[in-house]
């Protein structure tokens, strides 16, 4: 398995997605409230760009006339014919045991050579007239393992 940097954590805010290509494969990477998931950007029905579809939830079993909604923000709907897949697992909503899209492991890793650090920037600390500022460097990358 090889790690591929997608972007920094700041470049993929919650509720957003990024579509990347790795080794000829189109892959959608999603930030679901700080949890990152990646699935193949191909619907198994007719090879549509699945990850370009609307992200929503799905209805849950409920009494007649009552609509309960669940899995909000975890379901992607194919833009061509509406097939739905769980972004966290790749399983289809309509037949989770037989139809799915490939999912990939995603991790958040510190940037190489850029460890988290805090330091004070300013001139001589003994001179109270010199204003100093705390600077924090904390860069992390979203990484897909293919």
Give the CA count within 13 Å in the CB-facing half-sphere of 101.
Answer: 34
The Cα 48–Cα 41 span in angstroms is: 8
- Taking only the tens place, the pLDDT of each residue in 100-127 is 999 999 999 887 654 444 344 444 456 5
- Taking only the tens place, the pLDDT of each residue in 34-91 is 999 999 999 999 999 999 999 999 888 889 999 888 889 999 999 999 999 999 999 9
The whole-model pTM stands at 0.78
For 3-145, the fitting CATH number among 3.40.50.11600, 2.102.10.10, 1.10.1660.10, 1.20.1560.10 is 2.102.10.10
Residue 113, pLDDT score: 53
Residue 67, pLDDT score: 87
49 closest CA partner among 79, 7, 6, 69: 79
Contact 136, 6 (CB under 8 A): no
Count of other CB atoms within 10 angstroms of residue 37:
21
Domain boundaries, the chain: 3-145
């Amino acid at each position: 398995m090889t790690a591929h940097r997608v972007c920094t954590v700041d470049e993929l805010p919650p509720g957003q997605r990024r579509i990347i290509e790795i080794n000829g494969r189109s892959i959608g990477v999603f930030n679901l409230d700080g949890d990152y998931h990646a699935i193949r950007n191909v619907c198994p029905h007719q090879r549509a760009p699945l990850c370009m579809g609307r992200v929503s939830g799905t209805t849950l079993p409920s009494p007649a006339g009552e609509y309960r909604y669940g899995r909000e923000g975890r379901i992607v709907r194919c833009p061509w014919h509406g097939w739905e897949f769980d972004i966290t697992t790749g399983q289809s909503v309509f037949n989770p045991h037989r139809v799915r899209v490939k999912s990939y492991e995603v991790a958040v890793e510190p940037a190489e050579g850029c460890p988290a650090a805090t330091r004070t920037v300013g001139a001589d600390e003994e001179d109270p007239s010199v204003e100093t500022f705390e600077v924090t460097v904390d860069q992390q990358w979203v990484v897909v393992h293919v």
